[in-house]
Structure 1
Amino acid sequence: MSARRRVALLLATFALSWALSFAVIEALRDDGDDDRPALPPGAAATGSPPSAGTTASSADAVSLTATLTGTRHSHELALEVTEPQARMVPPPQVRDCRQFASWAQREGALPVGFEPVHLLTIRAERSVDVAIHGVVAVPVAQILREREQGPWVELACRQDPPTPTATPEVRDNGEPHVLVPGQTIRLVVDLSDPESAAATFPGGGWNYYLRVDLEIDGVTRSYELRDEAGEHFRCCGRTTFMGYQAARYEWTISPKPTLRYCPELNYVDKPPPRVCQAREPG
């Protein structure tokens, strides 16, 4: 056998041996011991796996706002105002009762009742579990209103029921809510039961902010909320006393502002029914 043929035979033997070794190694690697989950169709493995314990901040999980909607005394938002203010025609930009209430309060109106009730709007920025653990009104400054500035009357707004496509308002029952990104819920909430008498929201008119303890994915975080303009909330005036109910003005905003007037009531035992009639604005 020539030297050239011996070299060719050695090279062929080496190549065959290397190919068999590579096949054995690949078979051992694919024998089912790799328990890593398969990627979903169309997915690609990019970057490094996240470190253990890294999660999105709970502060970024939701956005939260609050609106004063009434008091435990009244499910509607009735307002204490002077009589000239009650007859004042709302400006053209006021097109619903929410805007009416905001405008009236900027003009000095004070919600009527004994304890404020709020609507919390919670929007999920990612998939999240949320639950309300506590809602506390924290007084900041007392609102002094002299009776001599009156006579004080009651002001209210009337509008059509919300459309079926509107996000419904439900009363919070303390149960958790599972939200998906972009989902919004609107919860009517009372103030939490105080741990002591000193924590009770005081009577009379007060500026206050709202402290909401919200559990987000098992972690409780406190939010300090103000109204939509970033100002303190205001509550609570009074238009009903023993044997007396102040006169009442009711505005309907749409399709055009109209006014209804209900005279004051004086009585000994039970209040008689209201007798109201249309009245010219202004």
Structure 2
Amino acid sequence: MRTGVRRTLIVVVCFAAGFLVSRAVRWETEPATTPPTPWSTVPAQEPRIDARVAPGALDDGAGWVLMAAEDLARAEPPDDVVDCGGLRDWALREGAVPAGNAPHSIEVTANYRTTVQTVHVRVLPDPTPYSGKPPTVRLACLPRPDAVLPFPEPDAARVKVNGEPSLLDPVQKQTTLYRPHEVRPRSPAELEVVVDLTGSTGPFAYRVEIDVVEQNEFRGRAASGPLFATEDGGGMGYWPATATWTMSPSRTHVYCEPVTNPTPGTEPTCT
């Protein structure tokens, strides 16, 4: 009996050993299977630097003047417009245009860390036709009743759109902003330039072109266009209609009719 059990155990052990040897040989001859990779390789971004132009930032206490069509000048802005900055954003979206000396903000962005040494700004007329309603009304905003409208310093109007240079009246259509600015992803450099929009008889288009010098390398960047502006239209013999919003302590609106050939002491009719 014991002899039979021993023989049975020997057979089982030999069978198991043979099975394991055959599996080892099979694992050696079969090609290895690579497990799937849980992520895919994404190529690195190409270095990119860009610039854009937008209406200049306003101080909280600053007022402004735009030119607008009459229906816009008489329109009621949305209830959530509670300050002059919000009113200007709404008016520009609705078709109002700058006039006179207008501040412009230049934003330089990059998808990598770099230093912008200088920014060259050129302002040029653009042939795009103006298709909006005639902007004939001065649309003004005052943050409070005793506020005054801002006038840039004479040397702040550094770039002019219209007019030809002469010995008596040089027209500067480009300028260079020299101060270095560090630019990083999600941290742009912001610069300001004032554009003199006078010298035209009506609505016109212009564009702002920007060249960036970065790490001592010249990089041209066309940044805007077309942008629209207009002449104010006022003078000694004509006062345009004026719509003035005062935002504090409550939002109020006054519309003054235009005046032709005013004489000393003339006051416009306002409602």
Matched residue of 1:130: which SS? Answer: strand
Query: What residue identity is the alignment partner of 1:251?
Result: W
CA spacing shift, 1:186–1:128, aligned 2, 3 Å: same
Contact 1:153 1:239 in 2 (8 A): no
Residues 203 and 133 of structure 1: is their aligned pair in 2 closer, same or farther, counting only changes over 3 Å? farther
Counterpart of 1:118? 104
| Partner residue, 1:246 | 240
SS at match of 1:142: coil
Q: Which residue of 2 aligns with 1:132?
A: 119
In 2, Cα distance between the equivalents of 1:109 and 1:257? 19
Give the 3 Å change call, closer, same or farther, for CA 145–65 of structure 1 in structure 2. Answer: closer
| Alignment pair present for 1:220 and 2:218 | yes
Count of matched residue positions in the alignment of Structure 1 and Structure 2: 191
- 1:205 — aligned with what? 203
Equivalent residue for 1:100, pick from 81, 84, 87: 87
- 1:159 matched to 2:143? The reply is yes
Match of 1:190 among 171, 185, 195: 195
Q: Which of residues 53, 64, 69 in structure 2 aligns to 1:82?
A: 69
Q: Which segments of 5 or more consecutive residues in structure 2 lack a partner in the other structure?
A: 1-45, 145-154, 159-174
Q: Confirm or deny: 8 A CA contact 1:138 1:211 kept in the other structure.
A: no
CA distance in 2 between partners of 1:222 and 1:201 (Å): 28
Shift of 1:218: 2.0
What is the aligned-residue identity percentage? 24
Q: TM-score, normalized by length of structure 2?
A: 0.53
Distance 1:80 1:209 in 2: 19
Alpha carbons 1:139, 1:201 under 8 Å: kept: no
Instruction: Report the 3-state secondary structure (helix = DSSP H, G, I; strand = E; otherwise coil) of the residue aligned with 2:176.
Output: coil
Secondary structure, in 3 states, of the residue corresponding to 1:141?
Answer: coil
1:91 is matched with 78
TM-score, with length taken from structure 1? 0.51
1:176 positional shift:
2.3
Give 1:266 deviation, angstroms: 4.2
Q: How far did residue 255 of structure 1 move?
A: 5.9
Look up the match of 1:195. Answer: none
**1:154 Cα deviation after fit:** 0.9
Deviation at 1:258, TM superposition (A): 1.7
Query: Residues 201 and 249 from structure 1, CA distance in 2 versus in 1: closer, same or farther, beyond 3 angstroms?
Result: closer
2:118–2:213 CA contact under 8 A, matched in 1: yes
Name the CA distance, whole Å, in 2 between partners of 1:145 and 1:153: 14
> Superposition RMSD on alpha carbons, in Å?
4.2
Unaligned runs of 5+ in 1: 1-55, 161-169, 192-199
What is aligned with 2:35? none
The 3-state SS of whatever aligns with 2:88 is helix
1: CA distance, partners of 2:67 / 2:88: 11
SS state at 2:129 partner: strand
Residues 245 and 264 of structure 1 are in contact (CA less than 8 Å); yes or no, is this contact kept in structure 2?
yes
Higher Rg? 2
Shift of 1:211: 1.3
CA distance in 1, matches of 2:138, 2:103: 18
Shift of 1:107: 2.7
d(CA) in 2 for partners of 1:108, 1:242: 27
Query: Counterpart of 2:230 in structure 1: which amino acid?
Result: C
What is the DSSP-based 3-state SS (H/G/I as helix, E as strand, rest coil) of the residue aligned with 1:240? Answer: coil
Letter in 1 for 2:178: P
Match of 2:179 in 1: 177
